[in-house]
Amino acid sequence: MGFFKIGDLAGAAGVSRDTIRYYERTGLFPAPGRSVAGYRLYSDADLLRLKFIRSGQDLGFTLAETGELLALQASDTAQASAVLAMTRDKIRQAQTRVNELNRIRTILESLAAACPGEAPASDCPILSFISARPSAPASQDQTK
């Protein structure tokens, strides 16, 4: 069983040291043991956990959801149906995002086709569309 210092673990997992520290602060990643000199020491199991977290994020799971998946993985009594339910919910969310992106693409393609590229910017329908579009209520997340 190998041991890694934080920089070695970060490199092996393809994340930054700050990411590992953040995961530790949030409880998603266990606090490591320390060497006599005070260096954080991580195990092969820590590397696998870190890769699991990153893989979950790559699939669109939030850190909180990834924490739930880790808890399900570690449980002796959890059923695969719980993982399946989370995954199906993630599929629905992904489909909603795909639909929204397709809608945006359609609008942008239409606007781009209507834009007279050699005309003054003030004649551009893209700018007119953006200017005339009502803003969303403050409660909606504009960073989707």
Contact 9, 42 (CB under 8 A): yes
pLDDT of res. 17 = 95
Name the band, by pLDDT with cuts 50, 70 and 90, for residue 1: low
- Determine the Cα–Cα distance for residues 65 and 55; give it in Å rounded to an integer: 12
Among 34-38, 44-48, 128-132, the range scoring the smallest mean pLDDT is: 34-38
Domain boundaries of the chain, sorted by first residue: 3-74, 80-132
pTM of the model: 0.76
Q: What fold is seen in the domain 3-74?
A: Multidrug-efflux Transporter Regulator; Chain: A; Domain 2 (1.10.1660)
Are 42 and 56 in contact by the 8 Å Cβ rule? The answer is no
